[in-house]
Each structure stands twice: as C-alpha cells, then as structure tokens.
Structure 1
Amino acid sequence: MKRLLVIFCLLIAIHTFSQPRWSAQTANDWYSKQPWYCGFNYIPAYAINYTAMWDKTSFDAAAIDKELALAENTGMNAARVVLQYAVYADDPAYFLKTFDTFLELCARHKIKAVPALFDDCVFGINSDPKIGKQPEPLKGWYAWAWSPSPGHSMVVDSTTHLLLGKYVTAVIGKFKTDDRILFWDLYNEPTNGGLGSATFPLLKKVIAWAKAVNPKQPLSIGMFDKNARLNDIIISASDIITFHNYGDKEALQQQITDLKKYNRPIICTEWMNRPFKSTVENNLPVFYNEKVGCMLWGLVNGKTQTELPWGHRPGDPEPTIWQHDLYHGDFTPYNAKEIALLKEYIDKSKQ
C-alpha cells in the first residue's frame, strides 16, 4: 500500500508541476547567446564502456584531465557523455560526486558537458550493465562490451521505473542550475539495440520526470532514424532540436534543411563516419555555414575499438580507414589535416 501511495504521489507531482516545452523564442534567444559549439562524443580511452568510465573500480580523473586538455588544445568546446544508471544505483552519493568531478575537469578545459541519462545501444552480447571490473576488449569486435543504461531488462520492466525516476530527479535536480552543463540529452537512441517500441513507456516517463525538475538548461533527445512515432515524441519534448547524421555532406545538408521547419536551434550530437563520407573535410563546413553545433565521434581511440566499422567482428578484413576517433592512444592525430581544419573553423567562429 505504501509503495502504491508513493507511485500515486509521484504521478500527481509530474502531472502538476511538469513544465511545458520552451517556446521557440526562448530557445532561439538561448542559442543566440552561445558560441558555435564544435565538440565530440567522449569516452576515455581506458574505458571499454560507460560503466568503466564511471565505476569505482576504474574511474580515472587524471586520464580524463589529459584527454580533455587535448580536446581543449584542438579548440573543441563541448563533450557529450553517457551516464550509467547502474553505477548510480550502487552508490548514489559516489556517482553524483564523480559526475561533479567530471564537470570540474570539463570547466578546467573550457568545455561544456552534454550528459545523456539513458542509452539503448548494444554492440556486443550483453544488454544489461554490471558494475565492477569490466571485460577486456575482444580484438576485432567494434564496441564489444558496450553497456546500455539502464539496460534492456529495466527498460521493459515497468516495476523498476520508480527507481529510474528517482535517478533522473536526483541527477538533474542536483545540477539543474549548473553552467557547466550545456543541455540535457535525456535518452540516447531510444528503441535501438532491438528494443523497438518497448522503449516508449519509459521514454515518455523520462521526459515527464525531467520536465518536473524544470532545469534552467534546455532538454533534448536526438533524432537518429525515420521512426515517425518516435520522432513525434522526441520533437514534442525537445526544447532544442538535436540529431545524429553519419551521412555525406549532401545528406547532412538535406537533414538540416528539413529540421529548420521547427524554427528552433539545431545541434548534431553524433557525426563523423569516414567510410560513409561523413568527414571533417566534407561536413564541418556545412555545420559552420549553417551555424549548427556539432559533436563528432570520438576523441582518443581506445578500448572501444571504434576505429573499426559498425558490425566488425574478429577475422573480418582490417579497415583501410578509421570509422571514428581523432587521435591515436599516444595523442598523435589520425589525420593532421583534420585537426588543422577543426582549429581553423573554430577560430573563425570566434571572429
């Protein structure tokens, strides 16, 4: 009975206090005060997944500090990162303190953070995260041990959602006025990893929970495919429009043109796939000319093996070019011309 009362009170609070989506005017006024954001999706080279990034057994502030210094030297000013519910659930106070440490490191290097609270993606064989020491890479397998958040079992089990609501409320609530956070990316690629529409109930709750907290930062969820039902949910919830695009410059330009109809700020939160011709040389000028913020994947190549193409497995032919990542593990550029172009366009944006 007590549990039912708590759930009832939470639902009433969400219904009563949820804030409406920002008006287009409010969103555009916010964006007009921002610099052009040119950043990256960040996972440390030491981490095989985001569980490893945050977990007590492996979180490494010194390593993160060095990599963010590299990003700062490149000129980049935004870092998107996925949080891990399992680490929070194990020790909420530790997780909040550790996330605060990460934000301190971002601020030290003049980088705004874009946290994603959930993620449905799976590239290996496990769809639920486990805290503690993580597996070592399986050579030749792209993102072998990727760990979604909170994991597919909790996504489809509505009896666990009250716990997830407490997580959303605690994390956003603690940092709801924090200038180190650019915006909240509530859910990375919901429905991906084989879940499909089974994600919809949780996704809608996450939106309501976040709106009930009413942070000063905008809320968004990135569009990543052509699922009309999903995109209707995303657009109606997003203060600013965010999207993923791994296509060539023509495909990118077309999507930006299509998204302009919403009359809201537009930021691409995932891009750069060299074999697909989503490259710094081809696509960065599009982002710059359209004043669309962008965050490529990723910074330093490491245990995730994201230099490999999606779906790559042990024994497959070695790729002739890297799919993702700007730097080798020793911080030397994969392609020095890319780094020069990033610096050139970022410098131009400040003039």
Structure 2
Amino acid sequence: MTAFRPMTIRLLAAAATAALALGAATPAAARDLWTKAEAKRWYDAQPWLLGANYAPATAINQLEMWQADTFDPATIDKELGWAEGLGMTTMRVFLHNLLWENDPEGLKKRIDTFLTIAAKHKIKPMFVLFDSCWDPNPVAGKQHPPIPGVHNSGWVQGPGAARLADTAQYGKLEAYVKDIVGSFANDKRVLAWDVWNEPNNEGGGNYKPTPNKKQLVAGLLGKVFDWAQSANPSQPLTSGLWIGDSWDRAETLDAVEKIQIARSDVLSFHDYNWPEKFEQRARQMLSYGRPVICTEYMARGAGSTFDGSLPIAKRLDIGMVNWGFVDGKTQTRLPWDSWKKPYTFDEPTVWFHEVLRADGTPYRQAEADMLRAYSAAPKGVVPSPSRK
C-alpha cells in the first residue's frame, strides 16, 4: 500500500480551498459539500456499485436516446434486464442541455419512465449533465447514421462549443441544471449526479478543437456545481478525473481538476490502462478519504480489462462502471484509432468496449460469469476464481 505523507494531504486541502476561493465558492442557498463522514454513510448504504455507461443499442448518442421520436423504452427494458442478470446495480447515463431547452417537461417525463424501468431491474442510474467529448457542435433533432467502421461517431458534447463560449447562454444552462437536479433531488431511484464528464478533455475524434476550451470550462465548472448544489439533492455530486499520473499531488492538478476534487461529494475517476496503473490511480483517489467510483474503464485493446481491474477495485471497495454495454449504434466495440483507420472491411481482432452482443449474449462468457460473481460477493471481498 502506498503511504501518503501528511504534508501532501495538507497541500491538497489547501489547493481545494484555493479552488473554492477562485470562483467555485458555494452560494448561501446551496447545501454544503458533504463531509467525509456523510459521504461514507451514503456509500456504505449502497450495494457494491457495478455497472456500465449506458445508451440503448438503438441510439447513436444521448440526444437520440432521449428525444421523443427515438426514445425506446422497450429496448431499454430489455437491455436493463440483461444488466440485472449480470448483477449490475447502476448505469451511468448521459443527458444533454439541448434536450431540456427544446422539451423540458417531455424530458422529465422520459427520465421518470427510464427510472421506473431501471428500478424494476434494481438499477439506480447516475446521470451526467455535461460532457466535453467528441462532436463540439451538437444539433437537436434527427441524428446522422453511424459513420461506418468508426468508434462513437455520433456522440456530442454538452453544452457544446457555441454555448460554452457565449456567457449569454449560461442562464439557460443554469435553468437546465437546477430544473433537472431539482426535479429528482429526492428521488430514491437516482444514485448520483456526475455534473461534467471529462471537463478538461479537448474533445477527440477528427473534430476542430474548441478555442480556449479548458479556460472556459474552468470558469464554468464551479458554477455548475453551484447550480446543482442549490437544488439541495439528496444524492452526491461528482466529476471524474481522467488524465495525469499524480492526482494526490496538488501542484500537478490543473484548474479543472482542483475544482473536481474540491467540489465532489464522492470522488470519481476514469482509467483505461493496465492493472498496475489502475491501482496507482485508485490509491491516489482514495488518499482523499472519500468514497471512490471508477466511472469509466475497460478498453480491452488498451490493456484495461475486467480480469485486470475488477479484483483490485473489489479489494479496495471502489465502485466500477465500464464503458459500453450492448453493441449498437455507438460502435464502441471499435477502438479509438478507428477515427484514423475505419474498420470498414474487417472487424478488430478484439472488441474494444461493450459487454454484450446485440442479441444479449456475452462477447466473452468468462466476463459475464466474473461480473455475476463479483456482484454477489460482499463488499471488499474478491471471490475465488471459477474452477470450471
């Protein structure tokens, strides 16, 4: 086990305080950041958190998942039934500000329908409010079909480049956050709120980068936490770190990461590396003394697998949410490099993400068996390997 020096912890606490002073201060009307004891009580009351980042196989992105014309409760019910059969207890699900701007009441009704289906399958979702990955120019309405052979070819950022750069739009973003979080603030079917996915990500894919994106996000992220806290949710807030090697050292954190750590009730992170790096990053996150959830992992071709990461996480009592569930329109069975060399003639040798094929059968039966065994075992207990 890695030992963390008291001086390191004091520096991190000072950095968190500084981040709050630099524009991330909690407004008087908002609930406070949970204490470490409050966060622990919440986490101890949950089952071991196991799940996937979820969009139904029929949706190319979060807009297509939730818009009235393409919302697909039958597929959602079928696929969450498969998740229940694997022992999954949560799903990380992306929303979008455009959905609310165009149809706020309809969106809330569809969220309620989704939560009813999820509860039927004993799954408590974590909702993501904003996202810095992939297409920076989201457009509501009919979405384009998947680009053949390309990973996540239709996923969109929220709020998107135009709204991020235009402070006159921030009132709409504030109203979106307050209405959505406020409407479900005491809903026991909701696990948590992930306020911004990989906020300091430049975007990815072949898209044109957003000018001054990191600076703009650093100026907005604290406000998003403010807005979510002002709704006084009974569920925790979080935003996950995803890049870097020294998350337990305040001097290496950028402005966005300092806000993420300072404002998250429970901490979260992403890791798509080999088990050694996963454990290093996991221990760095645990050094803050709060519960930890890994909200993205499992990219087989990059060395991140269920076999490698789950035993470490279970032993450390870290919740685990892998990327992708059922192979479908997101095409994330294909690797990241498909943006440069699309897999239009041959399938990749190994699926990158996804747990199940379109018909619900496991991509790898041993993985499905492992998920069920780990879910059934008590927290902190790594089950013995199957002897089949």
Report if the CA contact (8 A) 2:148-2:342 is conserved: no
Report if the CA contact (8 A) 1:38-1:293 is conserved: yes
Q: Which whole-Å deviations, capped at 9, do the CAs of 1:5-35 have from their partners, x for residues lacking one?
A: xxxxxx9xx7321222111111112111221
Structure 1 moving runs of 4+ over 3 Å: 313-318
Letter matched to residue 95 of structure 1: L
Q: Distance in 1 between matches of 2:48 and 2:175?
A: 34
Report if the CA contact (8 A) 2:30-2:230 is conserved: yes
Correspondence 1:334 to 2:341: no
Gaps of 5+ in 1: 1-10
**In the alignment, which of 50, 54, 57 is matched to residue 42 of structure 1?**
54
Residue 227 of structure 2 is matched in structure 1 by 209
Report if the CA contact (8 A) 1:156-1:199 is conserved: no
Q: Distance in 2 between matches of 1:187 and 1:115?
A: 10
Residue 285 of structure 2 is matched in structure 1 by 259
**In the alignment, which of 96, 101, 111 is matched to residue 84 of structure 1?**
96
Letter matched to residue 152 of structure 1: A
Q: CA deviation at 1:199?
A: 1.1
Alignment of 1:186-335 (within 5 A): 186-192=195-201, 193=203, 194=209, 195-226=213-244, 227-313=253-339, 315=342, 318-335=347-364
Letter matched to residue 362 of structure 2: P
Q: Distance in 2 between matches of 1:315 and 1:276?
A: 17
Q: Which whole-Å deviations, capped at 9, do the CAs of 1:93-145 have from their partners, x for residues lacking one?
A: 101101111111110100011000111111xxx42222222111111111111
Larger mean Cα displacement after TM superposition, 40-49 or 147-156: 147-156
Q: CA deviation at 1:189?
A: 0.9
Report if the CA contact (8 A) 2:193-2:238 is conserved: yes
**In the alignment, which of 184, 190, 195 is matched to residue 181 of structure 1?**
190
Residue 6 of structure 2 is matched in structure 1 by none
- Flag the 1:315–1:233 CA change in 2: closer, same or farther, 3 A: closer
Percent identical among aligned pairs is: 39
Report if the CA contact (8 A) 1:43-1:81 is conserved: yes
Residue 8 of structure 1 is matched in structure 2 by none
Calculate the TM-score normalised by the size of structure 2: 0.84
Q: CA deviation at 1:315?
A: 4.3
Q: Distance in 2 between matches of 1:203 and 1:29?
A: 26
Number of residue-to-residue matches in the alignment: 337
Gaps of 5+ in 2: 1-22, 204-208, 245-252, 382-388
Report if the CA contact (8 A) 2:150-2:331 is conserved: yes
Report if the CA contact (8 A) 1:56-1:132 is conserved: no
Correspondence 1:28 to 2:57: no
